[in-house]
Every structure is written in structure tokens, then in C-alpha cells.
Chains A and B, each alone.
Chain A
């Protein structure tokens, strides 16, 4: 066994909540070491710390035998640590060669030396097996797979000794994946250490030497890839169930309020069918990219639908825009409230009445300021919005109170079907509780409530039923009490491994 290339001990990081707790990790030269875990396990945070994008809170890292603590991406790259991000950073209008050497173009007195650039680019491309590419061609003409290889070529051209790949195959076709794997093997023989982050367990078992499972920011186990069972990995990713289950009541609900049949949208939602009943809280979960958010957006008309039908209380409705959806009695609390929910510079009153302005106006469109103030007052009190006055700009409120204002808007509208996308993201614990209670109150008032969340514990706490999505399809349904973290995690990953292995 060779000396480790990277040794991490007791790494700590927390934002509001701990993200990495006493995390240990080791990588040998020439090794592909896969990191797996559910959403929020801390994989990406660890990667960001390694490549200098985020500062850690404590712990020790040694790289090539020396203490390592990069303060910036530049410093990490100088040390030989490079990450290829999930989203590609290729600039389409520039040539392939310029993309590879963007921040270190060979130059003399401000003039780029194109001959030298070309020679270096040819070498860099050859290293990832792209001999046939013309370095002068615009990078935008390349397919996603090639763009990614170009990025990797750029990484290697920096004398990279540790390469971090975050979901590298997410956008690749099968032949492109094969090509990537070939390159990974080539790099291994050169002694480059590779950290490979992915949800795709079948791929990981092909390419990785070792697999480390993370959960809640902790190191759970490290296995040799050859002899670990899928079932064991899933058990480790899922962890133990919390004994507590509050609020949810099992098979709840009256008549069907919302039926979705064979919904398809974009590439992310491939075939989704489900029903939501009055009086129930229905959870929808899955890994990031499994199509949860896109499903909500497609139902709400915020994203174009390619197929499928939507029925509200048994009647087919045509939803081409959010306007249609709201008219049909559907409300959506979006994932990113600042981007898609709030008028940050405007007051609580203005934000609360946005979806009900017509009800607050006379025949000629004349606004009744007093009625508006009453509505804002009523729902702010009901939701316990903490504010100086109803005329305060919502941009000045805390995240939890901002979310309450978005919810108040739909309460004012009295929608029969409420869709929530990550309703408690970035919200403190106390406000979370208020929102959980509110979701239950809505259900008790006879509304159908659909909640998308990445936090399994949250869904298990509040939902009557949970649907699990994986790669654009619903792969499992659980009633309260039937579920375990392990079952849900298995279903969430199920689109990523072949079914025959799933039995293992």
C-alpha cells in the first residue's frame, strides 16, 4: 500500500447546522475513491473545501505529505487540486485552446502567443484522448461530453495530482461515459488521485477502487468497491429511523383533489402519475435532479409540459401558464423565494395581496387600501410574521418570515391545492415548526397539500404519504408508518442502478 496522497482527519464545517462533523478521508495516488450519500450528506461541501472554494472550520488536511489548507481556488490549483464542476464552465465563443488555458494564456506583453497556445493545447487534449480535435475550433460546437473532457484536459494541464469529479456523467451519453472512464483509467496509471462524487452506484462500482459512504456530514464507512453489497451501501446511506413521528396520521384524505397522469416535461420529468387527496399532506422526494421541482413546475404551468393530463377534482383542466393553474385552484410556493416568490423591495401588504388584487379592488380596478391592510393583517397574525409594520419591505425580514409572507399570499387566495417546493429551506428551527403546523392546518381545512423536500426526516415528520422519484419517474409510494429511511433511500437511488442488482 502506497503512502496516501490526501489525508483528511477530523474535518469540521458548519453553516447554520453542522455540514461536516469530524470527517476522515484518505486517498491514495492512482486511486479512484467514490463518495456517496444522500442529499445534504456533505459531499459537495467537502469537495469545495478541498479546492479552496469554501473555508473549513477545523481539522487537519495533508496533501502530498504537507499540511494543506487552500485559501482560494487559485491556491488549490497551484498545489495540484482541481475540481470539474457539475455545471460546465466552458465559454462557447472562445476556442478550445483558449478555454483550456484561459487564466494562463501564453503571452508576451499583452499579446497572446497563439503558436505556443496551440502546441500546449494539442498536448493537453492528447492526454484525454482527444487527438482528433482542432484546438482552434470554438468550444461551443462541442457536445457536452467533449466539453467536459476539455475541462478535464484543462485541469490536467495544470499539473493536477488530485482531480475531483462531481456528478461527471450526469449529462453524458453512454459512449461519452465510456470515454470518460477510459480517461480515468489512464489518469490512474499516471498516479493522479481521483475523488468521484456520484449518485450512480452502478457506475461507481465499475470505476472506483474504494467507496466512502457519508451521512449527515460524517464518515460512515469505507469499502473496497469489489466486495461491497448494494444493500449495505443503501443501509449505510439511509441511517437509522428517528423513532419520533408527529402530526401525520397514516392513510388520510377524502376525495381526490389533484390527479396527475403520465406527466412529461423537459428531460427531467419522464412519466409521473399520482393523486393527491383533500386533507392529506403528500410528500414528494428524490435526489437532486430526480425531477421533483420540475414536476411541481409542470403541474403549475411554470414549465412547459410535453405530455400528460392534470385533473382537478375529477375534471381535466388545461394548464398552460401559472395563470391557468391559479384559476384552477392551485397555488405554488416556489423553491427560491427571493428569485421567484417575493417583491423584495415592496411591503408585506403588497406581497400578501399580489395574487388577490382583483378581490381587493372595485369594479374599475380601484384598490381598496383598507381591505388590503386587513387581509395582510389577518394572515400575518395567523402565520405569526414578525415585522415592524405591514408596510415594512419584505427584503428586510428573516428567511422564515419571508416564506410566511409567500404562504400568506396563497392563503388569501384560498387555493384548494397547495404545492410547496422546499418550504423550510434556509429557515430557522422555530419558524420550521410554525410552517409544519401550518401545513397540517391547511390539510385539516380540506386542502390537498403536496410538499417537495430533500430532507427525509422532515417528510417523515409531517406527511401522510410519501412518493419517491428517481430519474424522472415515481419509483415508490409509502404510507406513514410503512416507510423507513432505508426503503426511501433505496427507491430514490433505484433509477440509478439496474433492477437485478437491486435485489442484492
Chain B
């Protein structure tokens, strides 16, 4: 199968880039190439992974969601309040979190798709609303929850990585399969390629578009649970600026901001690359501002490289 082999070649390319980065930091710092580094990496990224997976689908339909970080913060805050003030169990709290995330995402989608308002503006509004609600629910206080939530992000004995990491891998696989093997995924790619053609093929694009935003909201809620569980406490400031990391990861993974083309698996590599960069730069002693300068440069370089590659091989625009 020609398509399969092309996909595998893309995955391999991303893997090679990541491995190159790992080796580079391994040479620069003697402590970098250790099991501890990788375990820390794996346990830090689940929230970003699940959100970036959802963000991939949103970018594929030509939309964007800036509210993911705030929705994560809101959901984490609600989890804290539910468990500490209302003494709900972790699972009940999680269900509420996911419900709130789903609702926020569905609202984003319903307003932007239903009323034809650019998702950039709608989700910018949601960014403020959700963050404000996070402060209101927690009275701007960080709530310590403790061991009841930490299990999800603690390493599984003998494996070194957490259940959250496995769940995020599952989300990546499910997202990729949905994108490339289901009617829903095909609609997303078609909508991102030419929405007018989709409509004139007798398909109503709105339900799929709203569903994508709702899905990303749900995954932001899940990200909120992961984040809270990793800290052991709920923090209304959680996830600030996360939307930018998520979009960066998706773009590094080669998904087009214009829509119609993308891969969830490559987004996972995008997250790995960003997280490795941050961890590696910290290891070699870069300061926080220097890290930001460097990471920003890499994002732009990745996009330039991608545009250049597609310019050389226009056939690569095909993506299903």
C-alpha cells in the first residue's frame, strides 16, 4: 500500500528528528541520556499530548482554539473544589471535569460554526471566560488535594511511566485512526480542503465541525485532570499559555494551519520535540528566557522547513 508506506516514512522522519535532538543534548550534557530524564519527560507531557491531539483535528478543519489552556485551568479548579469542598470521589470529579470541558468546547463550536464567527475570536473570548471562572470557583486559591489524585500521574511500578502517559498514547492512536479510517475523519479533511465542495456534495459540514471543537474541549478537560493529578493540587493558573505550546506542537508535526492536511501521530512527535527541547535546554543550563527564545526559533524553523519541503514535492500535499 502506497499511502501506508508514505505515512510510515513521515513518522520515521519525525522520529529521526527527535532522536537527533536527544543525541544532541546527550552530547552536550552527560546527565541527559538517562532513564530518569525520559521518565520525567513522559510524565510531564500527557496533558499537552491529549490537547495537541484534539488541536490537530481543529486545525485540520481550518479552525483554531485558543481557549484550551484556560479550559484546562477551569476543569482542574473544578476538580479541586469537587473533591475538597464537596468531598466527591476522584472519579466523580473527573466526570464533572470532562463534562465541563465538553460543554466549553461545544459552546466554542456552536457559536463559531452556528453563527459563522471566526473560531479565533470565539475561543479568544472563551480563553478569558474560562480563566475568570477558574478564579471564581477557587477564589484564586491553589487547593492541595494530595495522594488521591496523584496515582494517575505516578509511575506504574516497574514501568517508570504513569497511567496518564498511557492514556495519552491511547488518545493519539485513537485520534489518528479516527482521522484516517472513519467517515468523521474524512469529513474533517474534506472540510479543511474545500468546505464549499463538501456542502455541494450534499454533506452538512456543521455537525462535524462542532463535534471537533467539543472533542477538543473534552480533551482539555482530560488535560486538566492530568495536570491536577501531576501537581497533586488544583491551580487556577494551570495551563496558562498552553494553547501556544499545543499549536506549536501541531505545526511542528506538519499539520497545515490552512486546514486539510495533518497527522495526529506527527503531533505526538511535535510534543516530544518541544518537551525534549525544554528539558534539554534546562539540563545544559539555559535560563527560562533563553529557552523561550530558542523554542520560538525552532517553531518558526520547523514551519519554514515544512513549507520548503512541500514546495519541492507538491505531491506531498495529499494527506489521506
Q: How far is the CA of A392 from the CA of B315 in the complex (A)?
A: 8
Indicate whether A357 reaches chain B with its CB closer than 8 angstroms: yes
Indicate whether A396 reaches chain B with its CB closer than 8 angstroms: yes
Q: Which residues of A contact B318 (CB under 8 A)?
A: 345-347, 391-393
Contact residue among B186, B194, B198, B319 (Cβ-Cβ distance under 8 Å from A367): B186
**Closest CB in chain A relative to B179 CB, distance in Å:** 11
The tally of CB-CB contacts under 8 A between chains A and B is: 97
CB within 8 Å for A341 and B200 given contacts A346-B193, A346-B320: yes
CB within 8 Å for A340 and B197 given contacts A346-B190, A357-B187: yes
Indicate whether B199 reaches chain A with its CB closer than 8 angstroms: yes
Closest to B317 in A: A345
Indicate whether A361 reaches chain B with its CB closer than 8 angstroms: yes
- In the complex, 6 of the A-B residue pairs with CB atoms within 8 angstroms, ordered by the A residue number, are A322-B202, A322-B203, A340-B194, A343-B194, A345-B261, A391-B3
Q: How far is the CA of A323 from the CA of B200 in the complex (A)?
A: 8
Q: How large is the interface on A (under 10, 10 to 19, 20 to 34, 35 or more residues)?
A: 35 or more
**Closest CB in chain A relative to B31 CB, distance in Å:** 45
Q: Which residues of B contact A326 (CB under 8 A)?
A: 201-202
Residue of B183, B198, B204, B261 with most chain A CB atoms under a 10 A cut-off:
B183
* A365 with B183: CB separation less than 8 A: yes
Contact residue among A355, A367, A391 (Cβ-Cβ distance under 8 Å from B203): A355
* A343 with B199: CB separation less than 8 A: no
Q: Name 13 extra pairs, CB < 8 A, besides A367-B181, A393-B317.
A: A322-B203, A332-B200, A340-B196, A341-B200, A342-B194, A344-B194, A346-B260, A350-B186, A350-B190, A357-B187, A366-B182, A367-B183, A413-B202
Q: Which of A329-361 contact B (CB under 8 A)?
A: 331-332, 334, 339-347, 350, 354-355, 357-358, 361
Indicate whether A383 reaches chain B with its CB closer than 8 angstroms: no
**Closest CB in chain B relative to A312 CB, distance in Å:** 14
**Closest CB in chain A relative to B91 CB, distance in Å:** 27
* A334 with B183: CB separation less than 8 A: no
* B319 with A345: CB separation less than 8 A: yes
Q: Which residues of A contact B186 (CB under 8 A)?
A: 350, 357, 367
Indicate whether A103 reaches chain B with its CB closer than 8 angstroms: no
**Closest CB in chain B relative to A241 CB, distance in Å:** 35
Indicate whether B38 reaches chain A with its CB closer than 8 angstroms: no
Q: Which residues of B contact A358 (CB under 8 A)?
A: 183
Q: How far is the CA of A391 from the CA of B204 in the complex (A)?
A: 25
Q: How far is the CA of A321 from the CA of B202 in the complex (A)?
A: 8
Contact residue among A323, A346, A396 (Cβ-Cβ distance under 8 Å from B189): A346
* B199 with A322: CB separation less than 8 A: yes
**Closest CB in chain B relative to A389 CB, distance in Å:** 7
**Closest CB in chain B relative to A226 CB, distance in Å:** 49
Q: Which residues of B contact A325 (CB under 8 A)?
A: 202
Q: Which of B286-320 contact A (CB under 8 A)?
A: 314-315, 317-320
Closest to B6 in A: A391
Residue of B187, B193, B261, B318 with most chain A CB atoms under a 10 A cut-off:
B318
Indicate whether B184 reaches chain A with its CB closer than 8 angstroms: yes
Contact residue among B183, B187, B197, B204 (Cβ-Cβ distance under 8 Å from A342): B197
* A395 with B203: CB separation less than 8 A: no
